[in-house]
Amino acid sequence: MRHTLAVLVENNPGVLARVAGLFSRRGFNIDSLAVGRTENPVVSRMTIVVEGDDRVLEQVIKQLRKLVEVLKVQDVTKEEHVDRELALLKVSADPSRRAEVIQIVEIFRAHIVDIGRKTMIVEVTGDEGKVNALENALKPFGVKELVRTGKVAMLRGTKDITMNGKEAAE
């Protein structure tokens, strides 16, 4: 099963290497990893999607907590949360087929962000299923290039994962 972890870390150089190294060294499988700074400039937040059973997950969380620069680790999988990723797709689109592509893009509430002579770039934000669905819908036109950010996630409602926030139930 896939789990989504929210990990707060100190915003220091090398932290990503420590976290990524931990995963590879212990044989944990990272599905996706997204990282950026938070509302607090000295804290970065990683959203890590990891594949494994409960035992693997328990070890992942405990090993992450051992890292000196890791401030907080929480599994948000079973909590009410919103998750999103962003993808850019470069689609083959001759002028004759553009209308069709634009129609599909509108249905998915995605955006055309660039038009070339033979291609268009589509930007889409959504959960993994939506991004996959759009990719499948555009495949017949020819997806020449695809880039995805990996998942970011946030708890719904008053619960939060910040340095001062109340911890959601574990």
Partner 1 sequence: MKKKVSGGDILIKSLKREGAEVIFGYPGGSVLPIYDALYDADIRHILMRHEQAAAHAADGYARATGRPGVCMATSGPGATNLVTGIATAFMDSSPLVAFTGQVPTALIGRDSFQEADITGVTLPVTKHNFLVKDVRDLTRTVKEAFYIAKTGRPGPVLVDIPKDVSGGMAEYLEPGPVDLPGYKPVVNPDPAAVLAAAGLIASARRPVIYAGGGVVISGAHGELRQLAELIMAPVTTTLMGIGGFPGNHPLSLGMLGMHGTRYANYAICECDVLIAVGARFDDRVTGKVETFAPEAKIIHIDIDEAEVSKNVRVDVPVTGDVRVVLQKLLEVLKGASHPAWVDKINTWKKEYPLQFDDNGLKPQYVIKEIDRLTGGKARITTEVGQNQMWAAQFYTYTRPRSFISSGGLGTMGFGFPAAIGVQVACPEETVFDIAGDGSIQMNIQELATVVSNDLPVNVAIMNNGFLGMVRQWQELFYKRRYSYTEIYGPDFVKVAEAYGAEGIRVTKPAEVGTALEQAIASSRPVFLDFVIEREENVMPMVPPGESLEKMLG
Chain positions contacting partner 1, by CB under 8 A? 9-10, 14, 17-18, 21, 25, 55, 58-59, 62-63, 65-71, 163
Query: Cβ 70 to partner 1, closest distance in Å?
Result: 5
Closer to partner 1 by CB, 64 or 122: give it: 64
Closer to partner 1 by CB, 17 or 169: give it: 17
| C-beta of residue 9 within 8 angstroms of C-beta of residue 29 | no
CB atoms within 10 A of CB 164: 6
Closer to partner 1 by CB, 11 or 32: give it: 11
* Amino acid type, 134: L
Category of 137 on φ-ψ map: left (φ > 0), alpha (ψ -120 to 50) or beta: alpha
Closer to partner 1 by CB, 62 or 156: give it: 62
Query: Cβ 50 to partner 1, closest distance in Å?
Result: 15
Q: Which of 147, 148, 144, 146 is nearest to 92 (CA)?
A: 144
Give the contacts of 1 (CB within 8 A, at least 6 positions apart): 51, 52, 53
